[in-house]
C-alpha cells in the first residue's frame, strides 16, 4: 500500500520585516492584510502540530499544493526553505506553487528557485518527459504511482488571486496522462487553484479551468489535489475510465474563523488489487482545544478504478 499525505496553504510566518522599496506595488496590500488580520489566522504552533501529526502517520509521500509564503519577499522563500528542510527531504515531499508564492515578478533564483528540488521531476520520470523540459509540469514516479505537478501561479494585479496553467503545460499534461494511463499508473495531479469552473469568482479562480477539465475528461486521472480556498472540498469528474476524485484541503496553519475552518490535512491509501486500483481517504482535523489533530469524516470510503 502507498500512503500519500496532502497539506496546503501553510502561509508561513512570521512575516520578515520588509524595507520601504519591497512594499511598492502589490506587496503593500498583502502586508497590510497580514498585519491587520491574517497573522491572527495563520498560527505556526498549529502548523508545527500538524507536521508532527503527519509524521506520526508515516506517509510514503507528501504533497503540498502551494501558498507556502505570503507576499513573496526573498526572505520568506529562505524561511520557507528552512521549514521544508526540517519537515521532509525533497525525495519525500513534492510541491506546486500558489498565487502567494508568485505575488510579484522577481528573479527565479530569489524566489521559487530556492525550492527547486522539491518541485522537479525525478530520474524515474525521464522516459516520459519531452526533451529540454521546463520546470512545469514536473513528473515524479514512485513505482506505479505517478504524481504530476502543474503551476497555476503567476503575478497579478492587487486584490486579484487568480491564475492559469497555459497551453504549453496542457499539451505536456495531455501527453503524460495518456502515456501513464496506457501503462496503468495511478495518476495524481497537483495544482494550487481549484481545477474546475465555478469553484471561485473570476478574481480568485483558475482562468483556464474549462481547458483543464477538458484535458482531464479526455485523458483521465485518478486523483486531483488542490488548495487555495482554505476549506475542505470534494467533487468527482467523469473521466474516460471512471470518476476522477478532486480534493481540496483546509489551510495547514489556520485557526477556525467566521469564514474558514480550522487546519486539517488528508491521507490517501492507494493499492492495486487484482489489476484494479483502490483508493481510500482519511482526514485529520485540528481539535477544538487546538492541542492536536483527530480523525475527521472521510472524503470518501473506497474508490475502485478498473
Q: Is residue 17 part of a domain?
A: yes
| pLDDT tens per residue across span 228-275 | 999 999 999 999 988 899 999 999 999 998 888 999 999 999 999 998
Q: Is residue 195 part of a domain?
A: yes
Predicted pLDDT of residue 19? 82
CATH label of the domain that carries residue 198:
3.60.21.10
Q: For residue 12, give Cα distances in angstroms to 17, 116, 155, 235, 245.
A: 14, 18, 19, 28, 28
Give the span between the Cα atoms of 180 and 174, in whole angstroms.
Answer: 10
Phi and psi torsions of 297, nearest 5°: -70, 130
- Domain span at residue 117 reads 4-260
Q: Is residue 181 part of a domain?
A: yes
Exposure of 71 in the CB half-sphere (CA atoms within 13 A): 26
Q: Is residue 170 part of a domain?
A: yes
Yes or no: say if 31 and 18 are a contact pair by the CB < 8 Å rule.
yes
Give the span between the Cα atoms of 22 and 287, in whole angstroms.
Answer: 38
> From start to end of the chain, where are the E strands?
2-7, 61-64, 93-95, 138-142, 145-149, 186-190, 223-226, 233-239, 242-248, 264-273, 276-286, 293-296, 302-305
Q: Is residue 272 part of a domain?
A: no
Q: Is residue 274 part of a domain?
A: no
Number of domains in the chain: 1
Structure-block grid coordinates of residue 57: 502517520
Whether the ω angle into residue 14 lies within 30 degrees of 0, i.e. cis, is: yes
| pLDDT tens per residue across span 96-111 | 999 999 999 999 999 9
| pLDDT tens per residue across span 136-190 | 999 999 999 999 999 999 999 999 999 999 999 999 999 999 999 999 999 999 9
Q: Is residue 132 part of a domain?
A: yes
pTM of the predicted structure, to 2 decimals = 0.96
Q: Is residue 253 part of a domain?
A: yes
Q: Is the pLDDT of residue 295 over 90?
A: yes
Give the span between the Cα atoms of 86 and 66, in whole angstroms.
Answer: 17
pLDDT band of 115, cuts 50, 70, 90: very high
Question: What average pLDDT does the structure give for the chain?
Answer: 95
Length in residues, the chain: 306
Amino acid at each position: 500500500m502507498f500512503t500519500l499525505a496532502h497539506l496546503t496553504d501553510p502561509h508561513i510566518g512570521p512575516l520578515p520585516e520588509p524595507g520601504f522599496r519591497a512594499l511598492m506595488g502589490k506587496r503593500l496590500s498583502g502586508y497590510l492584510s497580514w498585519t491587520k488580520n491574517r497573522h491572527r489566522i495563520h498560527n505556526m504552533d498549529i502548523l508545527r502540530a500538524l507536521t508532527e501529526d503527519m509524521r506520526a502517520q508515516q506517509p510514503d509521500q507528501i504533497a503540498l499544493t502551494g501558498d507556502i509564503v505570503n507576499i513573496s519577499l526573498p526572505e520568506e522563500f529562505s524561511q520557507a526553505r528552512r521549514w521544508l528542510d526540517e519537515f521532509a527531504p525533497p525525495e519525500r515531499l513534492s510541491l506546486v506553487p500558489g498565487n502567494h508564492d508568485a505575488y510579484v515578478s522577481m528573479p527565479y533564483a530569489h524566489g521559487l528557485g530556492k525550492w527547486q528540488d522539491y518541485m522537479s521531476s525525478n530520474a524515474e520520470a525521464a522516459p516520459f518527459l519531452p526533451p529540454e523540459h521546463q520546470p512545469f509540469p514536473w513528473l515524479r514516479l514512485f513505482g506505479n504511482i505517478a504524481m504530476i505537478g502543474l503551476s497555476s501561479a503567476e503575478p497579478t494585479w492587487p486584490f486579484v488571486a487568480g491564475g492559469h496553467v497555459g497551453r504549453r503545460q496542457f499539451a505536456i499534461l495531455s501527453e503524460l496522462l495518456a502515456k501513464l494511463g496506457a501503462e496503468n499508473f495511478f495518476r495524481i495531479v497537483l495544482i494550487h487553484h481549484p481545477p474546475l469552473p465555478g469553484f471561485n469568482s473570476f478574481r480568485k479562480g483558475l482562468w483556464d479551468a474549462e481547458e483543464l477539465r477538458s484535458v482531464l475528461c479526455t485523458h483521465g486521472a485518478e486523483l486531483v489535489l488542490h488548495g487555495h480556498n482554505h476549506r475542505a472540498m470534494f467533487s468527482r469528474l467523469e473521466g474516460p475510465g471512471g470518476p476522477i476524485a478532486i480534493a481540496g484541503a483546509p489551510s495547514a496553519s489556520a485557526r477556525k474563523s467566521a469564514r474558514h475552518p480550522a487546519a486539517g490535512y488528508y491521507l490517501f491509501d492507494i493499492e492495486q488489487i487484482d489489476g484494479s486500483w483502490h483508493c481510500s481517504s482519511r482526514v485529520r482535523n485540528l481539535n477544538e482545544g487546538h492541542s492536536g489533530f483527530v480523525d475527521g469524516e472521510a472524503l470518501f470510503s473506497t474508490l475502485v478504478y478498473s
